[in-house]
Amino acid sequence: METKKTLPILFAVMFLVMVGFGIIIPVLPFYAEEIGASPTQLGLLMAVYSFMQLLFAPVWGRISDKIGRKPVIMIGILGLSLSFFMMALSTELWMLFAARIIGGILSSANMPTVMAYVADITSLEDRGKGMGIIGAATGLGFIFGPAIGGVFSEQSLHIPFYLAGGFSLLTFIFVLFVLKESLSSEQRKAQETKKKAPFMAALKGPNAILFFLQLFVTLSLAGLEATYAYFAATTAGLEAVQLGYIFMIMGLAQAVVQGGLVGKLTKRFGEGFVIQLGIFISAVGFSLILFTENFFTAALFLTIFGIGNGLIRPGVSSLLTKTSSSGHGSVTGLLSSFDSLGRIIGPPLGGLLFSITIGMPYLYGLFLSIIAFMVFQIYKVRLRNVQVEN
């Protein structure tokens, strides 16, 4: 399978998936409120999706090792489409929760399986580049999706959900006819012979540290996402439209770095350098955010943070798929699970810290960045010790 031809297809798949997902982001809170959700119920509605992904991402990753990537990706996209149509037709709050639960269970197949697909088709040298391209596709989808959802929500709150469902259905058809399977039957048999269970990979060996490093990074990111709108409004008087532009600028910069720079840096210096550089830049970004005064400084400082954050996940994904003894799907599924755990804990923790002092979530993010950097140093020492023993 030619990597040069397949990576653009995977980029298109993840971009379309995230556009569909992003369409409902600006609409869901108002839609749930219209059905009768309280603020607490809205929070639970958001959390239940991430909780399902926490539980099922490793399961789908392991299934993809056994039956192949393409069928699992198709299940994930079809499940996403089904959940959107269910939400569009919801008239009671329990129906909305059912749709989010089903969506979380099935759509958790997408990200880990696509990352495992990238690991299947890329050489060790180009692994970081492939993971960066998927990260760029995800970021761009999150830029365009909410913008589309916001425009169509002016007509009716139901329309974005139908639109997202249709978008996902088209993506399913695209995958069905265009994407080829990356795992041959021989490779699947080889995956099945690997004895180590996916969760054991997080509990034993140096790789365990990388999963927790990703958890710390996601915790800090989720805390920022949950509080930044309030922070920017308080410190710089920014409104929703301006915040939208700021996040768009950050997303574009992040996509450019992931789609172009990550591969070059990884090939020249290795994943370890890229991960540490990302953590350092993120820490600088967290520090600068505290000095936000206007639109320009808000956009600049948040973009610096976003670029740093965008370097870390591709590097971690690449390093794990290179060094783990488990199948690629098992590893990427477990990584997505840790990511989801961070997105469950991060927002309420960020909100709690913000209620104490408005700058606290970013000081906490700086602290977590320092911890993540130290954790990676421990990883390097443990990896070196294992290599010496072998």
pLDDT tens track of the chain, all 390 residues? 566 788 999 999 999 998 988 888 878 888 888 888 887 888 788 889 989 999 999 999 989 988 999 999 999 999 999 999 999 999 999 999 999 999 999 999 999 999 999 998 988 888 998 999 999 999 898 888 888 888 888 788 899 999 999 989 999 999 999 999 987 776 666 655 554 454 554 456 788 899 999 999 999 999 998 889 889 989 999 887 788 888 889 989 999 999 888 989 999 999 999 999 999 999 999 999 999 999 999 999 999 999 999 999 999 999 998 887 677 888 899 999 999 999 999 988 998 999 999 999 999 999 999 999 999 999 999 888 877 665
pLDDT value, residue 193: 56
pLDDT value, residue 390: 59
Where in the chain do CATH 1.20.1250.20 domains reside?
1-193, 194-390
What b-and-e string marks burial along 219-255, b requiring 16 or more CB atoms within 10 Å of the CB? bbbbbbebbbbebbeebbebeeebbbebbbbbbbbbb
What is the SS3 string spanning 336-370?
A: HHHHHHHHHHHHHHHHHHHHHCCCHHHHHHHHHHH
pTM (predicted TM-score): 0.87
Q: Residue 53 in contact with residue 106, Cβ under 8 Å?
A: no
pLDDT value, residue 270: 92
The contacts of residue 88 (CB under 8 Å, 6+ apart) are: 158, 161, 162, 165
What b-and-e string marks burial along 348-380, b requiring 16 or more CB atoms within 10 Å of the CB? ebbeebbeeeebbbbebbbebbebbbebbeebe
Q: How far apart are CA 263 and CA 136, in angstroms?
A: 12
Q: Any idea which fold 194-390 has?
A: Growth Hormone; Chain: A; (1.20.1250)
pLDDT value, residue 183: 78
Q: Which of 342, 345, 322, 343 is closest to 332 using CA atoms?
A: 322
What does DSSP assign to residue 261?
Answer: I
Q: Any idea which fold 1-193 has?
A: Growth Hormone; Chain: A; (1.20.1250)
